[in-house]
Structures are given as structure tokens and as C-alpha cells.
Structure 1
């Protein structure tokens, strides 16, 4: 093997070259830039033409020779070797397959050696045809614990976000975390666990309302996130307390005349003053402004309107005498009208019945539903020991399928399941009338997933039943911004919900925790008292459910109705009556 200089244009391509696929334009551009910057680092390998030719054939380095010509080089260094019997085919194959790019650790170490020799990051980037940002990313490895670097050098590298988190931590913190998460010999590291243990909350400069003066006053030092897109301000700090303090001081200094700094609730919404009404449209002259910090530490603004102060009796009398009605305070409208509540009752009932007919229900759940179904406000069972055995035609028609030809109760499980579902459909009701089962129907619906059977309530009929506050709350989670006029907001929501299903939160089956606790408590009282006390509680039409419009009938009227039903010759094998 010997060195020589030769005009790259005089070299001939090897017809047996292993790499026949053309390189990408981007790869050629990078190599061309490198050749122009530092020349050809690794000379091509050539051999003399066979049969007494005077030229040289390339064995390895076709692309380097081609781009050297493109770079305008007059001469390049080459290595001349003896021609192989296979025209260099095997050596070309080995050379292409065995070549492996440097791993990031070796790249970083090489970059650090160049920096120590006086190379700048920009010059290294030009020579290696890499972005300066990539050079700086690799140099982050200088902040990584040596023990972690040794493991990474084996080929087990973290992802870029994980590396960023690790490099941002102190060496002492890295040492403690690596001690806890260091993998066993031959295993890969759980970089997610390592990065998660070193993760710190980041507060970004782009979200800060304060300027450099407050940043310096609070000792905030911005750190650039080298892994973020290059065209955005990626500076951040992990000094959360100082960041929030600077934001708080900025709000205090920039508070409007009619403004207030408020906290946020558990849902990240501002806690406005008591009785304040939030203004989503353009604020008026008399409206106030609230500043608050959201969960990301950003300063947010909310406008609100306070109700007019109630006038004293004397001033109200004066107004009456003067023909003024300014002292009249309009009663706030309920979120959902009575018609809307009726619609919700119908929606719930239909969905519950559909769920009872179609949803998967385990046998133990089915038995539990039957038990609580008999506790519904619309169901009354007369005890057989009291000498009164009353039944219901509608319930009896399902029960007769559980008997065999000899009149014995011998139902198979399939027949029992069908009958049980049918009875529950007859018994459970959420309608706001005599048939209301109360809280038990909502418990049942929540247990079997009846919410998924509720219809789309984003219609003009139902949305017209909502107050402005409830209507604007329905805009959350959508792209709809509340309009100044209620009908415009409603029309936008109707259009929005043509493509997706909307269910008002108040229509969901799950009862309020306090209602459920009260119902359970009442049941415990009934169980613990004597029979007389139990009867007195049961006489209360609301004892097993919410107090809204239960419409339970007088027990005497029920008894009269049941007596009439029995007089018509009904089979009274089951002591259940459902209104």
C-alpha cells in the first residue's frame, strides 16, 4: 500500500462496487460542505487497471471522489493497493458493512478534544456539517455523571428529553438517583425512572409577565432548553417559588382600578367574589377585572359583574312613591327549568330502561338491583304476615314465566334473567311524577352504565331550558366562545352538537354524595327502630329519595286502588304493586 496524489477526474468507477444505490441529496450536500471545509479526511482506496492499463480504478471512495470533483479539488490523496482477484468486491462489501457511525458519547468526547485544541462550536459545526445547536446538545453530556456516561457508551442511550432532564440536574442529585436505579450487569437502564426522579417543575420565560428587572430582583436565572425548537423562546427556570413571586408582584403593580387578585379553585377556575357573575363577552364600564395565576403560572384575566346593592326599606318606599322600580331585584333563574327537569326525567328513564334491556349485567348485580328496586318510591309491598297479599298485573305477567307446567317455581337462569330485567324495567323510573323511583333508580343507572344510553341533549328544545350561566358552562371543552346574546350562544351549541353527543352534567345518573349518604342513613334508622317507627318513616313520601317532586300517593289511596284491582279477579300470587 502506498500514498499518492492524483487528479480525482482521472479515477475510474469500479463496476463491481457494492454500493449501487444513489446517496441522498442531503447527504451529498453535507459531505460536500465537509470537503470544502477540511478536505478529504480518509483517502479513497484505488488499484491499477488490469491488463497493463495506465489508469486507476476506485475500490472504496466513489462518493468522496465524485464530491471532490464537485468541490473543485485539483488533486486528492489516494491509497494504492494491489488488485484483488475479485476486483475488490469482497473488500468493498466489508468496508461498507463494517463501517459504524460514532455513538453520541464518542462524538461528544471528540468535540471536547477539538474545543480543547481551540476550535469554536461554530467551526466544529461547519467542519462536521452539523447544526451548532446539535453541537451544544452533545456538549450537554459534559454535565452527566461519569458512571452514567460509561453506561451510555455501551449503546444504551436515553431519549433526548430524558437526557435533557438528566443534564439539568446537579452531579450530586444524579449520583443519588443513579445509585437507586443503576441496572444490573448486562441489563438496560430505566432511563424513564432516572429522568422522572430528577424532573423539576419548569417555569418558562415566554409565559412570564414580569421583565428582567423583577427577574434579577428575585434571583431568577434563565436556562436555555437546547432540545426545544430553535425558533421559540425556550428559556426556563426551576426556581418555581421565585417565578411565582415575581408574577404576583407584577400583578400587584399592574392591577386595574376596579380589579382584584384572586385564587383558583380545584378546577383551575378563578374564585370570584361572592355573588359575582363572570362576564365572558366585552366587559362594560361598571365591570371589574380579576387577575389570577393558572396552574402553569401564567397571569390570566377574568371579568366579572357584582350585583347591585339592595336598597333599604325607606329608600325602597321612596322609590315607590316616586314611581321608580330600581329597587326591584330579579330572582335569579334556575340552571334548568321545570320543563328541562321533566325532560331529564324522561331521558333518564328511557336510558335506564334501554340499559336494563341491553347492557351486560352480572347475576349478583341483577339481584342487587332487584333488592333496591323494591325500595323505590313507586313500589309498595304488603307483608303476607299482615294478612294482605296484593299483586300487580304488570309484574305478575313476567313472574308467570318462572313456573313450570305443574305450577312449581322452576325457572332456568336464562328465563330468570329475562324476567328480572323485565321487572326492573317496569319498576324503575326517573320521571317527575307518581312513578318516580327516587334515588334508587339513579344508583341503578350509575351501576350499569346507563349514562352511555342517554341521548344527545344538544338540541334547541333542551338548550332553551338552560340559564345563561348553565348555557355558557356548556361551552367549556368546545371551540364555542359565549356570545353576548343567549340565543346566539345556543344556536352555536346546537350546531356544534350536531356532530357530537352532548349530555348535561345534571342529567348524569350518579347521585350527589350527600343525597346518597342521607338515603343510607334513613335506611339504617328504619332497620334499627321498631316496627312502629319504621311505619312512621315510611309514611313520609320522601324517606327513600331526593325531595324533588316525588309525588308519592297517600297510602290509603294505594290500598283502595289495590282493593279495586283485586276485586277484578287478578291473580295475587305476588305481593307487589307498582304505580
Structure 2
């Protein structure tokens, strides 16, 4: 073999070359850009002409020679090899078959190597005839879990949207999702849809934010650039939904017009106007009011509405008109996510207390009665044709039977079963399992507040409004900071070794709500004339049965 430098115009094509189809214009443009930027990287393979001439025939590198001519190169490197008996046909075929384009993972690793050698993204893009944006996209693979990269390197690549979602997640989040979705030996195919779906987070975009940098910093919002989004739009986003909505609420409070109110939206994203208000679709009058609200995407929306005229004159009319308007509503002290967290924390504390706290037998029986008055309890009665199919708790009842199937138990077994029933029945969680007021009463009665977990954490404190967060600094050495994020971080640090319980999580029931519940739940005495005898008993038998029941109840109570 001999290395020479020759004019690419003097080289002749091999008539026996394996690749006859024309390459795509995009591939030629890429090769041309690379040659212009860094020259012909790999020398062409050539052999001497068969007729004894001084020229050379191209064995490998026809496209490189052609694009070198287009690039205007006067000289390129070639490696002269002996001519094969078949004219190089087998060598050309084998080389064409074995050439394979780099997969995205290997291409990314090569790019990272160039960056480490002080190549800029711009220079790499020019050399590879790619856009800078494309180079940045490939570099996002640096944020992908190594185990996922290994799967991608085998050619099993997610689509662009899925890759964007995966790269935006933290490595810890990716690791947890990969455990549940990594391929098995029997089925090596990766379900990238499942992986991406497990890592999908709701995004709040900067282009939808009404607030500026000052409130963004106050709420600790750090914008992330979405490199996969169209280049002509602001693609910055945050996954801190609570902070985004809190900043939007505060902006509305600061920019509320004189006759403005902050209201909510319906399930369908429509505005909720005050009672009797009429929405104005045309040009509003000076006497009309303004309503500001957040739609389902977190955008600030503004509509105008008109209240019905009040016929009274003078100050009384103004007072009546003002009374019909809903007062401006600021961000609630605790968000919906915070309320749900309180429900979970309360329930865990209540169940812990029911398992371990000392409870007298009479209190235990009273709590059982109370638990079955909860709004989450339904019983298959069988008294009529309509059945309320609800949860059943046979496993606790089964412990009250002995090995021979007799209904026999000791006091300790009964106590354990009663505690288990209470744990299954009483709940403070949001949703259909919520017991309501009775769970708070039960929790207060047995001191479940002492089992509440520390709520001075980043997760919970991020659910508090600025006023609620600053009020949590009371009785602590922590002073409110200019930025909400800094105040929260200081409180988390302070309560790291201590314990913080938000007042909203306490078990003490509201006195008004308790009074209303007692009034509504009281059983009205039924007149004898209106009573129904389901068994067809006569009055004498009914009276006798009633007396026996009352006597037995008094004995049990004593």
C-alpha cells in the first residue's frame, strides 16, 4: 500500500462498484459540508489502471471524490492498493454492506468527545452539516439513564416526544420508572411509551405566565428550555405547578382593577361569575365589573360582567350593589394538593393511634358506633329491595370464631378486631373513603394528633401561600425572606430535627360544623301510629319486645 496525494479530477470511477443508486441530496449536502469544514477525513482506496496507464481507479470513495471536486479541492489523499482479480467487486460489496450509520447514542458520545476537545456546538454543527438545535437535541442524551442508553444503542430508540419526556426527568425518577418497565429476557423490546408516560409531568409554560421575573424568583420558579419545541416560540416551562399557580394568583391580586374580583373556573374551564351576574361580551361600560380567573392551563383570563340594577336610591343602592359582588379571592392558605396531603397525614396518624394508643373499652365501643356513622360507610342491609353495596370487613369478624367454627372469643381478641374495624372504617383522606367529621372527633378523642408526622417538609410547605408560609414562622427563629423559596428552605432546615404541624391538620372539629351534624343526624322519635311492624307482630308483642330491648340495653350499659 502507498499513500499519495492526487487531484480528485484525475480519478476514474470503477465500473464494478457495488453501490449504483444515487445518494440523496441531503446526504450529499452533508458530505460536502463536512469536506468544506475539515477536508476528506478518510483517504480513498484506489488501484492502478489495468492497461498500464498512469491513472488510478476508485475502489472505495466515489462520493468523497465527487464532493471533493464540488468543494474545489485540488488535492486529496488516496491509498493505492494492488488491483484484485475481480476488479475489486467483492471488496466494494463487502465494504458497502458493512458500512452502517452511527446510531444516535454513538453519535452523541462522539459529539461529547469533540466537546471535551474544545469543539463548540456551532463548529460541530457546521462540520456535520447539522443545525445547532439538532446538536443540542443529541446532547440531551446526557440526561438519560445509562441503562436506557444501552437499550437505545441497540437500535431500540424512542420517538422524539418520548425522548424529550425522558430527558426532562431526573435520573432518580428515570431509575424508578425503568425498574417497572425494563424489558425482560423473553421480550427484549422496550415500551418507550410506558416509560415516557410514567415520567410525564404537567408543564406550565413561561409564555402563559402573566407574572414577571420578580415573582418567578420569589416563588422559586426555574424555567427549563424545551429544545424539542418549535424554534419560533418561547418554549421555557416549569413542572412546579403549585408555584406557577401561586405566582399567577399573586399577580392577579396585585393587578386587580378597581371594580374587579378574582373568581374560579368551572370543570370545563369557564368562568364562575357572581350570582345574578350577566356576562358582557361587547364593549364594557364604566359601571361594569371585571372578573379575573385561571383557566385549566393556568393562564390568566379576564371577562367583564354586569350586575342587575338596584332600584333603591342613594347610598343604600350602592351598598346593595357592592354586596352582590363576590369579594376578591386570593390564593387559599393551603392548596388542593396540600389538603390531600393533610388527609393522608391525618389518616396515618389516626390509624397509628388506633393501633397503639391506650383506649378504654367503653371508648372503643363508642368509636365503633361513631365509625359506622361516617359518610364513607355503606352497609348491605337487606331490609328492602334497594341494596347499598359497600365495603365489607369479614376478616375482622372471622377472628371472633374459634377453630371449630363457633362464635367464641376473649376480650383481647375482641379489642384487636374492634381496632382493625376502626382502622378500615375511619379515614380523613380526600375522596369517597373520607369519613368526614366523625374521623376528626375520633382522632381528638384518642389523641391522634400526637401521631401526626412532621409537616415541615419541602413537599408540604410548597403547598402553602405566602401569607400562610410566613405565619408558620411564628414561634420560630426563622424570619420571612424576600423570596418565598428562601423562606420555605429556612423552615425546612429549622424543622429538619423538629416537628411542625399545620393548624389545618389538627383533629379538633369545627364547633359549628359539629352542631350542624348533630342536628342533622339526630333521630326523630316515630309516633306509634306511624310505625311499621315488619314481622306482623301485634301491639302487645311489640310493647313486650320494646321493654325487653330497653332493659337489656340498660344492663349492657351498666
Deviation (angstroms), 1:135: 1.2
Q: Which residue does the alignment assign to 2:229?
A: 228
Q: Deviation per CA, 1:489-546, whole angstroms, max 9, x where unpaired?
A: xxxxxxxxxxxxxxxxxxxxxxxxxxxxxxxxxxxxxxx9xxxxxxxxxxxxxxxxxx
CA distance in 1, matches of 2:289, 2:230: 39
Offset of residue 4 of structure 1: 1.5
| Cα deviation digits, residues 23-46 of structure 1 (max 9, x gap) | 333322221111111111122111
Q: Deviations over 1:400-432 (max 9, x none)?
A: xxxxxxxxxxxxxxxxxxxxxxxxxxxxxxxxx
**2 CA distance for matches of 1:15 and 1:108?**
37
Q: Helix, strand or coil for the counterpart of 2:4?
A: strand
CA distance in 1, matches of 2:23, 2:274: 67
CA distance in structure 1 between the aligned counterparts of 2:37 and 2:142, rounded to whole angstroms: 26
Query: Bigger CA drift: 15-24 or 55-64?
Result: 15-24
- In the other structure, the counterpart of 1:216 is 217
Change (3 A) 1:26 1:147: closer
Equivalent residue, structure 2, for 1:102: 102
Task: Give the TM-score taking structure 1 as reference length.
Answer: 0.53
Q: Distance in 1 between matches of 2:97 and 2:291?
A: 66
**Cα separation, 2, equivalents of 1:217 and 1:242:** 9
Distance 1:310 1:117 in 2: 81
Cα distance per residue 1:270-291 (max 9 Å; x no partner): 1001000111222222221111
Are positions 1:289 and 2:290 aligned together?
yes
What's the counterpart of residue 156 of structure 1?
156
Indicate whether 1:17 and 2:27 are aligned. no
The SS at the match of 1:57 is strand
Structure 2 Cα separation of the partners of residues 207 and 31 of structure 1: 42
Map Cα deviations across residues 346-385 of structure 1 (whole Å, 9 max, x no partner). Answer: xxxxxxxxxxxxxxxxxxxxxxxxxxxxxxxxxxxxxxxx
Residue 90 of structure 1 corresponds to 90
The match for 1:322 is none
Distance, in Å, in 2 between the alignment partners of 1:205 and 1:115 is: 30
In structure 2, distance between residues paired with 1:232 and 1:99: 39
Larger Rg: 1
Encode CA deviations 1:162-186: one digit per residue, 9 max, x unaligned.
1111111111111111111111025
Instruction: Write the distance in 2 (CA, Å) between the matches of 1:164 and 1:22.
Output: 34
Q: Which residue in 1 is equivalent to 2:303?
A: 302
Deviation at 1:296, TM superposition (A): 0.3
Corresponding residue for 1:68?
Answer: 68
Question: What's the offset of the Cα at 1:244?
Answer: 0.7
Paired residue secondary structure (1:13) = coil
* Matching residue of 1:238: 239
* Corresponding residue of 1:201: 202
Distance (Å, rounded) in 1 between the aligned partners of 2:210 and 2:28:
46
CA separation in 2, counterparts of 1:164 and 1:64?
35
Who is 1:189 aligned against?
190
CA gap of 1:157–1:25, structure 2 versus 1, over 3 A, is closer
CA distance in 2, matches of 1:291, 1:96: 66
Query: C-alpha offsets along residues 52-76 of structure 1, whole Å, 9 cap, x if unaligned?
Result: 1211111221111111112121211
Alignment of 1:402-417 (within 5 A): none
Cα shift at 1:157: 1.2
- Gap runs ≥5 in structure 2: 318-531, 533-558
Structure 1, residues 519-576: CA drift from partner, whole Å, max 9, x if none?
Answer: xxxxxxxxx9xxxxxxxxxxxxxxxxxxxxxxxxxxxxxxxxxxxxxxxxxxxxxxxx
CA separation of 1:151 and 1:25: change in aligned 2, threshold 3 A:
closer
1:221-247 per-residue CA deviation (whole Å, 9 max, x = no partner) reads: 110001111121100011111111111
> How far did residue 217 of structure 1 move?
1.3
C-alpha root-mean-square deviation of aligned residues, in Å?
Answer: 2.2
- Shift, 1:19, TM fit: 2.7
Note closer, same or farther for the CA distance 1:182–1:25 as it changes in structure 2 (3 Å cut). Answer: closer
Count of residue correspondences: 317
The 1-side partners of 2:295 and 2:94 are apart by 60
Q: Give the stretch that moved more between structures: 26-35 or 240-249.
A: 26-35
Query: 1:187 and 1:25 mapped to 2: Cα distance?
Result: 36
Structure 2 match to 1:81: 81
Unaligned runs of 5+ in 1: 317-527, 529-579
Question: In structure 1, what is the Cα distance between the partners aligned to 2:182 and 2:311?
Answer: 69
Which residue is equivalent to 1:273?
Answer: 274
Q: Distance in 2 between the 1:159 and 1:280 partners?
A: 44
